[in-house]
Structure 1
Amino acid sequence: MILAGLPGRAPAATPSAATWDDELDVRTSCPSHRGTLTLDPEVRRGSLDHAIPDGVLAAAYASEADLPVLLLVGDADPPADHEALARTAKSLARARLSVVHGGHHDVLNDLQHRSVAAEVIAFLETLRNDLRPLVTVRSSAW
Structure 2
Amino acid sequence: MTNAYDEPEGIAPRGTVIVAPGRGETAAAYARFGRRIAADGYRVRVPDRAGVEKLLVDDGLPGPKVIVGSDTGALVALDLAARQVPGLDAIVLAGLPVPRPVNLTNWEAEVEARTSCPNHQRVLTGGGALRGGLSVAPGEAATGVTLPSLGLHGDADTISPLEEARPLYPGTLVAIAGGKHDVLNDVTHRTVAATVVLFLERLRLGADLPVIAQVQR
* Bin of the TM-score, shorter chain as denominator length: 0.7 to 0.9
The residue type equivalent to 1:135 in the other structure is A
In the alignment, which of 147, 167, 183 is matched to residue 87 of structure 1? Answer: 167
Deviations 1:117-142 (A, max 9, x none): 00001111111223122111121xxx
More helix by share: 1
2:123 alignment partner, one of 29, 36, 39: 36
1:58 to 141, 147, 158: 141
Cα displacement string for residues 23-49 of structure 1 (whole angstroms, at most 9, x for unaligned residues): 111000111110011011x62211212
Residue type of the partner of 1:46?
G
Query: Which of the pair is proportionally richer in strand?
Result: 2
Counterpart among 13, 22, 45 of residue 109 in structure 2:
22
1:6 pairs with 2:113:
no
How far apart are the structure 1 equivalents of 2:126 and 2:145? Answer: 38
Mapped partners of 1:87, 1:5: distance in 2: 13
Q: Distance in 1 between matches of 2:98 and 2:168?
A: 12
Distance 1:133 1:76 in 2: 29
Q: Are 1:122 and 1:133, in contact at CA under 8 Å, matched by a contact in 2?
A: no
Q: What is residue 47 of structure 1 aligned with on the other side?
A: 133
Could you state the TM-score of these two structures normalised by the residue count of structure 2? 0.53
Q: Does 1:124 align with 2:207?
A: no
Q: Aligned Cα RMSD in Å?
A: 1.7
Once residues 168 and 100 of structure 2 are traced to their aligned partners in structure 1, the CA distance between those partners, rounded to angstroms, is: 16
Offset, 1:20: 1.4
The one-letter amino acid paired with 1:3 is: L
CA distance in 1, matches of 2:166, 2:195: 18
Length, aligned pairs only: 125
1:26–1:75 CA distance, 2 compared to 1 (3 A): same
C-alpha spacing 1:66/1:100, structure 2 compared with 1 (3 Å): same
| Unmatched tracts of structure 1, length 5 or more | none
Bigger mean CA offset, 2-11 vs 104-113 = 2-11
What SS is found at the alignment partner of 2:175?
strand
Q: Give structure 1 regions of 4+ aligned residues with deviation exceeding 3 angstroms.
A: none
Structure 2 counterpart of 1:77: 157
Would you say the 8 A contact 1:28–1:106 is kept in 2?
A: yes
- How many Å separate the matches in 1 of 2:202 and 2:168? 20
Q: CA deviation at 1:84?
A: 4.6
% same residue: 42
Q: Which runs of 5+ in 2 are unaligned?
A: 1-90
Q: State the TM-score, normalizing by the size of structure 1.
A: 0.79
Shift in Å at residue 51 of structure 1?
Answer: 0.2
Instruction: Say which structure, 1 or 2, has more relative contact order (CA 8 Å, 6+ apart).
Output: 1
Question: In 2, are the aligned partners of 1:73 and 1:105 still within 8 Å (CA)?
Answer: yes
Classify the secondary structure of the residue corresponding to 1:137.
Answer: coil
Between the aligned partners of 2:157 and 2:168, the Cα distance in structure 1 is 17
Query: How far has the Cα of 1:87 moved from its partner?
Result: 2.4
